[in-house]
């Protein structure tokens, strides 16, 4: 068991901000409702729950069959006052000067709350659905050029031309400017190419939930690339989980075992095991490799939810009482994560529960550290899998 003494680890982030993912209707992996579009009442309630729960950001995901992330981000902006919409944007879908214009418009409409999450594309088949036939390495090279054009479009005081490998235009600008200065750019992806582009150019680099030691290595790697590129401001680290919480660890595990059998059954209907293909994106490959190695890691990280869904999207869970899960999140903050994305399998109810029971516990610990310069006993008191009974709950009642 690691020591949770009063010294704040040198790697720890002094701050943490919370991210959710906006759901447009009540369909979940637990209760799929095929064919559901936007349920406006649900969407409004979801955004309100984020605002009332004190979340800092919400991701508007993007896929070939999803709602458009710019339009939904704009709606989030108008339905909220504090939550910052993060637009997932695939460069192949939007010419960069147009992307810059849309993001600057969103930023002005939300008085400086816009963030963009650049998705280079993890699946050749999915990219081909919208006419993108570049191989992945080239897609990341295109993302790199895209970032340069976005930033220049937001700040250039006069018209400029660009003749690059992927984009060419003349006399663009000055473009429509963001609310104040610039807009944070995040990169999603775990391949070598993602690290190269993200380390050199991104404001934020994002991960799906990994075991602590593995994530520490990945943080060092992306920060090493950033330093080698001469950066003095390193990319912020975003890490994503799907917490399963209940009043006690034992109850949370009962819920987790029930959830995973339902999720597995639903997933098998959509994608029978025989049709299962190995994912092309490294993020999912890593998640599946962790699931192969062990079901349970560290204080509360559970990989079974990734195993039964072929790690399609963020899928690793944190299981336990709010205290255990908050302590587990603090373990990641201690490794340097300053952005923590949490969304559940029962989306709206979980968003409300996390806002009430998890965000305040994590923030309280950081406030304690700031005020005293020391760690409190919180992580030592809620041991999860570092303690005695938790492992039994994790294996008991397993289907
Ligand atoms: C936090 C996070 C959010 C993501 N959101 C999306 C998304 O909305 N749409 C999408 O197609 N891919 C999304 N991805 C997946 C990857 O960005 C994508 O598969 C990547 O461009 C290529 O994967 P690789 O570099 O890991 O091989 C997300 C990844 C992360 C880490």
pTM equals: 0.97
> For ligand 1, is residue 208 a contact (CB within 6 Å)?
yes
> What pLDDT sits at residue 398?
55
Range of the domain at 28: 17-395
Query: Which residue, judged by its Cα, is nearest atom 30 of ligand 1?
Result: 188
Look at phi and psi of residue 22 and say left if phi exceeds 0, alpha if psi is from -120 to 50, else beta. beta
- Is 1 within a domain? no
| Nearest Cα residue to 76 out of 122, 98, 32, 109 | 109
> For ligand 1, is residue 209 a contact (CB within 6 Å)?
no
Task: Give the chain's domain count.
Answer: 1
- Is 232 within a domain? yes
Ligand 1 centroid to Cα of residue 158, in Å, is: 34
Ligand 1 centroid to Cα of residue 302, in Å, is: 20
Mean pLDDT within 172-178: 96
Q: Is the peptide bond before 174 cis (omega within 30 degrees of 0)?
A: yes
Say whether pLDDT at 399 is over 70: no
Name the residue of 85, 278, 283, 311 to mutate for ligand 1: max ligand atoms within 8 A of Cβ: 283
- Is 3 within a domain? no
Dist. CA 223–CA 336, nearest whole Å = 11
| 181: confidence class by pLDDT, cuts 50, 70, 90 | confident
Say whether pLDDT at 302 is over 60: yes
* Selected residue with higher pLDDT from 39 and 272: 39
Say whether pLDDT at 397 is over 90: no
Say whether pLDDT at 180 is over 80: yes
Q: How much of the chain, in percent, has pLDDT values that exceed 70?
A: 98
Dist. CA 328–CA 347, nearest whole Å = 20
Q: Which residue is associated with the tokens 């729950």?
A: 49
Sheet arrangement for strand 301-302: 244-245, 317-320, 301-302, 296-297
CATH number (domain holding residue 156): 3.20.20.30
- Is 7 within a domain? no
CA distances from 29 to 33, 252, 307, 352 (A): 9, 18, 14, 18
> For ligand 1, is residue 240 a contact (CB within 6 Å)?
yes
| Nearest Cα residue to 69 out of 101, 29, 21 | 21
Closest atom of ligand 1 to 126 CA is 11
Query: Which residue, judged by its Cα, is nearest atom 9 of ligand 1?
Result: 62
> What pLDDT sits at residue 2?
86
> What pLDDT sits at residue 268?
85
> What pLDDT sits at residue 396?
73
- Is 308 within a domain? yes
> For ligand 1, is residue 62 a contact (CB within 6 Å)?
yes
pLDDT digits (tens, 9 = 90+) for 354-390: 999 999 999 999 999 999 999 999 999 999 999 999 9
> What pLDDT sits at residue 346?
96
Query: Which residue, judged by its Cα, is nearest atom 6 of ligand 1?
Result: 61
- Is 111 within a domain? yes
- Is 182 within a domain? yes
- Is 247 within a domain? yes
pLDDT digits (tens, 9 = 90+) for 83-132: 999 999 999 999 999 999 999 999 999 999 999 999 999 999 999 999 99
């Amino acid at each position: 068991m690691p020591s949770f003494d009063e010294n704040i680890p040198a790697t720890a982030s002094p701050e943490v901000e919370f991210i959710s993912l906006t759901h447009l209707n009540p369909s979940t992996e637990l209760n799929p409702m095929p064919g559901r579009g936007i349920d406006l009442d649900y969407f409004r309630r979801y955004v309100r729950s984020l605002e009332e729960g004190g979340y800092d950001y919400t991701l508007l995901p993007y896929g070939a069959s999803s709602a458009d992330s710019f339009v939904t981000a704009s709606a989030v902006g108008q339905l909220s006052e504090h939550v910052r919409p993060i637009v997932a944007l695939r460069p192949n879908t939007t010419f960069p000067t147009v992307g810059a214009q849309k993001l600057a418009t969103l930023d002005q409409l939300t008085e400086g709350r816009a963030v963009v999450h650049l998705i280079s594309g993890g699946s050749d088949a999915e990219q081909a659905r919208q006419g993108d036939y570049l191989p992945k390495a080239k897609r990341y090279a295109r993302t790199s050029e895209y970032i340069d054009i976005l930033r220049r479009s937001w700040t250039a005081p006069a018209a400029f031309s660009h003749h690059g490998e992927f984009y060419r235009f003349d006399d663009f600008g000055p473009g429509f400017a963001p609310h104040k200065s610039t807009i944070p750019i995040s990169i999603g992806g775990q391949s070598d190419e993602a690290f190269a582009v993200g380390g050199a150019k991104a404001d934020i680099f994002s991960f799906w939930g990994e075991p602590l030691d593995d994530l520490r290595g990945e943080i060092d790697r992306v920060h090493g690339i950033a330093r080698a590129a001469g950066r003095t401001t390193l990319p912020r680290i975003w890490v994503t989980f799907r917490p399963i919480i209940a009043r006690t660890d034992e109850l949370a595990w009962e819920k987790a075992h029930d959830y995973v059998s339902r999720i597995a059954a639903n997933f098998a209907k959509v994608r029978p095991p025989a049709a299962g293909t190995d994912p092309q994106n490294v993020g999912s490959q890593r998640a599946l490799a962790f699931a192969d190695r062990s079901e349970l890691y560290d204080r509360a990280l559970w990989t079974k939810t990734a195993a039964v869904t072929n790690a399609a999207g963020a899928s690793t869970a944190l299981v336990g009482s709010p205290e255990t899960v908050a302590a587990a999140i603090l373990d990641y903050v201690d490794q340097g994560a300053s952005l923590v994305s949490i969304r559940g399998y029962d989306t709206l109810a979980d968003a409300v529960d996390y806002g009430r029971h998890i965000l305040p516990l994590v923030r309280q610990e950081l406030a304690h550290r700031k005020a005293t310069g020391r760690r409190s006993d919180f992580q030592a008191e809620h041991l999860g899998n570092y303690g005695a009974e938790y492992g039994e709950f994790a294996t008991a009642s397993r289907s």
